[in-house]
Structure 1
Amino acid sequence: MRPAMSIPKKIHLSMPLAIAALAVWLGLTVGGRWLESVGRAPLGTTVTGGIGLSWALAAVFALALLLASSRRRAAGLCAPPLKTLWLVWPPLLYALLMLLLAWAGGWPQPRVLLIVACNAALVAISEELMFRAILLQGMLDRYAVWPAVLMSSALFGLAHTANGLATGDVSGALWQAIAATLQGVGYAAIRLRTRSVWPMVFVHGLWDYALVTATLPHPAEDGASILPYVALLAVLPLCLYGVYLLRPSQRAAITLSDAAA
């Protein structure tokens, strides 16, 4: 009599696993970008030079890990309830306004716009799956809502300091890291309130697209980008919006919905 085949168990998204996944993700993104650019290169060159294979690999890795997880719905790998979509409108309209301002002085070449759009989408998918799905859920497995949000957002900001290794603009990368930390608070709050990572994938991609295309007509001559400084000012309202969404009356509902998932 043949033994019954055992069904493979799903992966539990614990905090140690999330941290290990982050290390692999950083290796794919930072290491891959360094190899693609053969050393240091300005951010504009990296984003407009071609489709980023490293970002695509990192996105595939994060998605594969979530699909193998036992709590992929709790991590946000599902469609958001329609009644929560109104929460996305403020940052979405903000991103659209930034896009209009970015193109007010003229449009870049269509080929460049297409490449930037593809890379912005890959970065948004990769980063949201890693930080707002895997890492945030791993933190929630051990900590309450606010500690989990703050730690995942801080690591999101810290990961952006790696841009200094790829571009040589260490000062700019530091400012970008601060901006990314504030941005992470807003994005994590919306992810938790909508119970889905996909709305912020769309907003994140549109946001990056607007910021990058805004700098394309006037790139910095020395390779340093004004993008981090612009981003820092732009994300302050988003961070405050996230703080509002995670007010005490809403955190209890988030905890209950996470436990039910």
Structure 2
Amino acid sequence: MQHTPKPTMSIPRIHLTMPLAIGALAIWLGLSLAGRWLEAAGYALPGAAVTGRIGLSWALAAMFALALLLASNRRHEAGLCAPQPWKTLWLVWPPLLYALLMLLLAWAGGWPQPRVLLIVACNAALVAISEELMFRAILLQGMLDRYAVWPAVLMSSALFGLAHLANGLATGDVSGALWQAVAATLQGVGYAAIRLRTRSVWPMVLVHGLWDYALVTATLPNPAEDGASILPTIALLAVLPLCLYGVYLLRPSQRAAISQLQP
């Protein structure tokens, strides 16, 4: 007796459009900033103090972004895969070596306390995963669903910069947050370019985490006397070469190749 196979139920996948990516960004911002705002208000929630404790809000934001990408039908196009081809990894070496040099310079005057280094490392990793999945995977792919390469890169990078303005609301250092926003925008151009050329978000997670780790530990031995962070100023000067590198990577011949890969 011949049995008729039962039809299988396929789970519908989410299509990463620009409106969906903007909505996801709003949720991501709420998750990543809520912990800092509650902590500043005096609530006993594990927050996002870079050197004091591990930021739960960053972990929640990273899990949200990862879950959305796993449910998407464009997760591979968004970079949730290994570099394709593997030889494109050489594009990561200039910013990676640059970040390592910054780390060596940061520790030239002495090492911070091991506990502080460990907490900063954990937070830098969480921030890198969370921000790269949100801005270089979800948001950039959502922009590419509607726009060409350069408009998508510039808009996603600008939103990356604007997101850093919220740091001023959490720390009270509005002027520092403005400088940090400009630096993040320039940084976003370089990161987006490498993500598009390697077709993977993971190399930039590594670079981003090491970059933040170097910048934060560079300010630990000599914090600003007036209480205002000098981190944004250092970041602005450091990211200029990275932005120019991104512009080079997105030269016309390479933009044409990237555009052809978009469905």
Q: Secondary structure at the match of 1:244?
A: helix
In the TM superposition, residue 223 of structure 1 has moved relative to its aligned partner by 2.5
Alignment pair present for 1:239 and 2:235:
no
Q: 2:134 aligns with which of 130, 133, 136?
A: 130
Q: Which amino acid aligns with 2:156?
A: S
1:94 aligns with 2:98: yes
Pick 1 or 2: higher relative contact order, CA cutoff 8 A, min separation 6: 1
Unaligned runs of 5+ in 1: none
| TM-score, normalised by the number of residues in structure 1 | 0.94
Cα offset, 1:222, TM superposition: 3.2
**From 136, 155, 162, the counterpart of 2:166:** 162
Matched, 1:115 2:123: no
**3-state SS of paired residue (1:46):** coil
Match of residue 66, structure 1, among 69, 72, 79: 69
Q: Choose from 16, 25, 50 the match for 1:22.
A: 25
Bigger radius of gyration among the two: 2
Aligned length: 255
Q: Output the amino acid matched with 2:243.
A: C
Of the three residues 29, 46, 50, the one matched with 1:47 is 50
Runs of 4+ in 1 over 4 A off after TM superposition: none
> Which whole-Å CA distance do the structure 1 matches of 2:82 and 2:8 have between them?
33
Is 1:252 the counterpart of 2:253 in the alignment? no
Bigger Cα displacement from structure 2, 53-62 vs 222-231 = 222-231
Deviation at 1:36, TM superposition (A): 3.1
Shift of 1:220: 2.1
Matches within 5 A, 1:79-228: 79-80=82-83, 81-228=85-232
- Deviation track 1:227-251 (CA, whole Å, cap 9, x = no partner) reads 0001001000000000000000101
Give me the whole-angstrom Cα distance separating, in 2, the residues matched to 1:66 and 1:105: 42
- Supply the RMSD in Å over aligned alpha carbons: 1.7
Counterparts of 2:115 and 2:247, CA distance in 1: 39
For the residue of structure 1 that corresponds to 2:262, the secondary structure is helix
1:32-86 superposed Cα distances (whole Å, 9 cap, x missing partner): 221134369xxxx810111100000000000000000001000000010211000
Deviation for aligned residue 1:148: 0.1
- Secondary structure at 1:48 match in 2: coil
Given residue 208 of structure 1, which amino acid in structure 2 is its aligned partner?
A: D
- One-letter amino acid matched to 1:228: P
